[in-house]
Amino acid sequence: MGNILDYSLADFHYNDNPDVLSPPEEFEEWINNDKIKRSFSFFEQQLLAAPKAETEILSNIDNKKRRVINLTSYNYLGLSSHPEVIKAVKEGVEKYGMGASGAPLLSGTFDLHTKFARMLAEFKQKEDCILYSSGLGGNYGAIQGILRKGDVFILDEKCHKSLVDGGTLSGAKMLFFKHNDINSLEMMLEKSKGKRTLVAVEGVYSMDGDLAKLPEIVEVCEQYNAKIYIDEAHSTLMFGKNGRGVAEHFNVEDKIGVSFGTLSKSFGGVGGFVCSNASLIRYLKCYSSPFNFSCAIAPPIVAGLIKALEIATRDSSLRDKLWENTNYFKKQLLSMNLNLGDTESQVIPIIIGSDGEKLFQMAAEVQKRGLFLQPVDFPAVPANARRFRISVSSQLTKDMIDEACNIIEDVIVKGLKE
Amino acid sequence: MTKEEIIEVIKKHIVENLDDIDENEIEPQKALSDYGANSLDIIEIVSSSMRELKIKIPRVELTDIKNIDELADKFLQYMNK
C-alpha cells in the first residue's frame, strides 16, 4: 500500500481474502491508521437529546458532551418531537404496548396500520398503500416484489442503495443512466425495448439536493412505454402545493406508477410506504419479503405518524417555515461565495473540493464551535466534490441560522482560503 | 504486457460482471457507465482486472478516467512502475 490516505472504502469492497471470515488484506492496516480513524470518528456519535434544531451530542472528537445547532438530522418539519405527536405516541403505547409482535401478513396489522395506509393513499392520490417497517425495506421490498428476471430496471446513477439492492434481489437487468441526463436515459430505454421496464428516480437527491427533471423524464418514458417509480423520501410533506412531493410540484402525479416515501424524515418516525394502483399493492402484499417476513411498524409509532400526517397537512405552516428557513440559509451561504452545487431543496451541500484531510479538519472545528454538521467523503460523493451537507429544519430560528453561518464563515470559508 | 492485452483483460471482466454484454460490442472509447454499469459494478470490474494484472491503484486516482482506453493507460502506467 502506497500512501494510506489515498485509499478509501471504495478500495476494500472487493474482497479476495482466501479466508471468508476476514476482511481484505490491508483493510486492518488502513482502518487503524490514526488519520483514517479520525475520519471514522464522525460516525455513530451519540445524540443525548431529541433531534431538534438544538440538541446535545457526545462528541467522538474529544469525548465531551456538547450543545449543538443541529444541521444533520432529517427532522425537517420537527415532527419527531411535536407535542401533539408525543401525546399520540403515549396514548398508542398505553393502548397497544411497545411492539407489533408479528409481520403484517399474519398478526402485525393493527387498526392503526390500516387507517394510516388509507390516509397515505388518499394523501398521495393513489388507490392503495402498503406500509413497511423501514424505508430501506420499503424500497427494496417494492422493487423485489414488482420486478422479475427478464425485466429491465433503469435507475438514475444517484439513486439510493435500497433501490439498487431491490434491483439486485429481483433478478431484473439493471441499467444506470447519467444523473438527470435525458439522453442517457433514452439510450438505456432504447436498450430495453420490448421488455417490461421500470424507471426509478428520486424526488430530491439526498447528497446534492437537486430535483429529478420529472417533466422530461415522464415524456421520454411515455414514448417508450416505461413506467416510473419515484422515491420521495426527501420531498414528501415538503414539496408541492399540498406537500405531496416533487411529482405534485411538477404536476405529473397521474404519470407516476409507484410513489415511495419514508416515514423517518419529515414524518419524524420510522418506516416506509409505497402507493400505487390497488391490484399492484394487493400483489406486493403476497410477494414483497419485508412486508411478509419482517415485523410491522410498532403501533405507538403508527399512532404518532397518523398525528404527524394530520399536522403537516392541516395547513401549510410547517413547510412554509421550512422554505423560509431554506431560502434565508441559502442566501447567507451564497453571500459567502460557497459552492452549493445545484441544490433546489432543503438539502444543501457545501462542496469543498478534493482535499479530504481539510474536510475532516474543518468538520472537527465546526463541531467544537457548536455545529452538528457532518462531512461527506468519497466514495459517497465524487472525490473532487467532498462536502458538508446541511439538512434544513423548520425548527431553526433566524438566530440559530445566523450563528451557524458565523461558524461556517470562520471555519469553512476561511479554511478554503488557506 | 501490451495495452491491447490489458484492454482484453478489462473486457473479460466487463462480460463477467454485466448482464447481456457481448465482448465484441465493447468499445475502448466508451465508459463503463455507457454499458449501464453502476458504481459497484465498476468496483468489481476494476478490482478483478487489477487482481489479474497484479497491481493495486487507489480508487481515488481513477475518478477522472473517462473511458476504458484511459483505464488501460492507467493500468499500464502502474505495471511499468
Q: What is the pLDDT of residue B63?
A: 84
* H or E element at residue A371: strand A371-372
Q: How many Å from the N-terminal Cα to the C-terminal Cα in chain A?
A: 30
Spatial distance between the Cα atoms of A215 and A226, rounded to a whole number of angstroms = 14
Cβ <8 Å between B59 and A379: yes
Closest Cα in chain A, distance from residue B30 (Å): 13
Domain that holds residue B62: 3-79
* Mutation target vs B (from A7, A12, A14; most B CBs, 10 A cutoff): A14
Predicted ipTM of the assembly:
0.80
Burial class (CB within 10 angstroms; exposed 0-12, middle 13-18, buried 19+) of B24: exposed
Q: How many Å from the N-terminal Cα to the C-terminal Cα in chain B?
A: 13
Q: What is the pLDDT of residue A150?
A: 95
A66 backbone φψ class: left, alpha, beta (φ>0; ψ -120 to 50): beta
- Residue count (chain A): 418
- For chain A positions 218-247, those within 8 Å of chain B (CB to CB) are none
Q: What is the pLDDT of residue B19?
A: 78
- For chain A positions 137-156, those within 8 Å of chain B (CB to CB) are 155
Cβ count within 10 A of residue B38: 19
- CATH number, position B57: 1.10.1200.10
Percentage helix, strand, coil for chain B under 3-state DSSP, each rounded to 5: 65, 0, 35
Cβ <8 Å between B20 and A174: no
Cβ <8 Å between B36 and A378: no
Q: What is the pLDDT of residue A418?
A: 86
- Chains A, B: CB contacts within 8 A come to 56
Residue of A nearest to B51 (CA): A16
Spatial distance between the Cα atoms of A127 and A280, rounded to a whole number of angstroms = 10
Closest Cα in chain A, distance from residue B2 (Å): 24
Cβ <8 Å between A8 and B39: no
Q: What is the pLDDT of residue A29?
A: 92
Please list the pLDDT of chain A residue by residue as tens digits (418 residues). Answer: 778 888 999 899 888 899 999 999 899 999 999 999 999 999 999 999 999 999 999 999 999 999 999 999 999 999 999 999 999 999 999 999 999 999 999 999 999 999 999 999 999 999 999 999 999 999 999 999 999 999 999 999 999 999 999 999 999 999 999 999 999 999 999 999 999 999 999 999 999 999 999 999 999 999 999 999 999 999 999 999 999 999 999 999 999 999 999 999 999 999 999 999 999 999 999 999 999 999 999 999 999 999 999 999 999 999 999 999 999 999 999 999 999 999 999 999 999 999 999 999 999 999 999 999 999 999 889 899 999 999 999 999 999 999 999 999 999 999 999 8
Q: What is the pLDDT of residue A4?
A: 86
Cβ <8 Å between B47 and A7: no
- Provide the grid cell at A249: 410540484
- The number of distinct structural domains making up chain B is 1
Q: What is the pLDDT of residue B39?
A: 78
Q: What is the pLDDT of residue A6?
A: 87
Asked if A18 has any chain B CB less than 8 Å from its own CB, the reply is: no
Please list the pLDDT of chain B residue by residue as tens digits (81 residues). Answer: 899 999 999 999 999 988 778 899 999 999 988 887 887 888 889 999 999 999 999 988 888 899 999 999 999 999 987
Spatial distance between the Cα atoms of A238 and A391, rounded to a whole number of angstroms = 13
Domains in chain A with CATH codes: 31-70+317-417 (3.90.1150.10), 82-314 (3.40.640.10)
Asked if A5 has any chain B CB less than 8 Å from its own CB, the reply is: no
Residue of A nearest to B58 (CA): A7
Residue of A nearest to B36 (CA): A175
Question: What are phi and psi for residue A152, nearest 5 degrees?
Answer: -120, 135
Counting DSSP H helices and E strands in chain B, the numbers are 3, 0
Q: What is the pLDDT of residue A396?
A: 98
Spatial distance between the Cα atoms of A152 and A236, rounded to a whole number of angstroms = 27
Spatial distance between the Cα atoms of A212 and A253, rounded to a whole number of angstroms = 13
B62-76 pLDDT, tens per residue? 888 999 999 999 999
Residue of B nearest to A5 (CA): B58
**Considering only CB atoms, which chain A residues are within 8 Å of B20?**
173
Asked if A190 has any chain B CB less than 8 Å from its own CB, the reply is: no
Which residues touch A9 (CB under 8 Å, ≥6 apart)?
Answer: A379
Spatial distance between the Cα atoms of A230 and A101, rounded to a whole number of angstroms = 31
The long-range contacts involving A13-22, CB below 8 angstroms and separated by at least 24 positions, are A13/B40, A13/B43, A13/B47, A14/B43, A14/B44, A14/B47, A14/B48, A14/B51, A16/B47, A16/B51
Cβ <8 Å between B20 and A164: no
Q: What is the pLDDT of residue B80?
A: 84
